[in-house]
Amino acid sequence: MGWELNLNLNPHLNPHLNHTAMAVKFLITGGAGFIGSNFIRLLLQRYPDGKVINLDKLTYAGNLNNLKDIENDPRYEFLKGDICDEKIVEKACKGVDIILNFAAESHVDRSISGPAVFIKTDMMGTQVLLDAVRKFKIKRFIQVSTDEVYGSIQKGSFKESDNLMPSSPYSASKAAADLLVHAYIATYKVPAIIVRSTNNFGPYQYPEKMIPLFVTNLLQGKKVPVYGDGLNVRDWIYVLDNCEAILHVVENGELGGIYNIGGGNEKRNIDITRVMLRHMGKGEEVIEYVKDRPGHDLRYSLDCDKIHALGWKPRHSFEKALKETIDWYSSHQGWWKPLKEKV
């Protein structure tokens, strides 16, 4: 599905395009979070004459210190607010060309203990944004989703056309949002694209997620909690690769389309743990095997041929990017230590 769009960001289809002369205005929801903050930084690099509005509710995982280095950039503006709040969303949307929705409750364990906030933010918030896209005639809307909406797969890899079979309240809320986006595309011809990424890692990730939790635990002399037998498989992508992939879809993707984004680094949780231990000079005695969580998917795997055909592939090797990530947390203890007190 696709249709014509007045705003042509594709430098191959538009030979006159010059990013340095493009005054595109972006609205990033959830821009104070892990992936959103890295994406904002990338946008400001790629669009010197662009404008970025960051709408974030600043829940526990939203952190303005993630963007301390660009907070005084005249091209950047922060607006505190909830994507479920129609008035604040409409205020943020005025004059905007493109919206990217990174805002989400995203921690599976938290969704198991309290699903309601996930349904509200991830699904109802997306509906508010979609209505604003229609009202303000936004030229492009990118729904940032997850590989978890497909559920677990024993063999092979999920394609974009496969059915959604989420296993947790979190992934169900994201799947519901994806279906809502699809419905708005079909019913209202909303100019939207869905991207589904695998597990991200890198700087500024809240230390409740596996890699930053394990690294910071080891830096504090604590053990690392591995669920079950540690044989669950995830595909890992460095956050900068994921941000570049999402921007590539913004500039080149087909409206109405869905794009899987993966790093091509499928690894068992126990193997990731051992790589981190090796990098940090620790032995396996620091591993603490803990009771598995309910509904824990065994393996996620995405077929990324579609985005590869669009001209994107990851640039960073897993081992090198993981080492750089460990080094970042080692040298930014002032950033994560106050956050660890809340985990």
Give the catalytic positions in this structure.
147-148, 170
Instruction: Give the Cα separation of 79 and 82 in Å (integer).
Output: 10
- CA dist list (Å): 325 to 159, 198, 223, 239, 318: 29, 17, 19, 10, 10
User: What is the length of the chain?
Assistant: 343
Report residue 173: phi and psi, to 5°.
Answer: -65, -35
Q: Where are the beta strands (DSSP E) in the chain?
A: 25-29, 51-56, 76-80, 98-101, 140-146, 192-197, 199-201, 224-227, 233-238, 258-261, 266-268, 287-290
Look at the block and give the residue holding tokens 């301390």. 68
Residue 64 DSSP symbol? G
Instruction: Centre a 10 Å sphere on the Cβ of residue 342 and count the other Cβ atoms it contains.
Output: 10
Look at the block and give the residue holding tokens 């169900």. 172
Q: List the 258-261 sheet strands across, edge first.
A: 76-80, 51-56, 25-29, 98-101, 140-146, 192-197, 258-261
Q: Where are the beta strands (DSSP E) in 59-173?
A: 76-80, 98-101, 140-146
Chain centre to alpha carbon of residue 308: 19
Instruction: Identify the three-state secondary structure at position 240.
Output: helix
> 79, 57 in Cβ contact below 8 A?
no
> 310, 252 in Cβ contact below 8 A?
yes
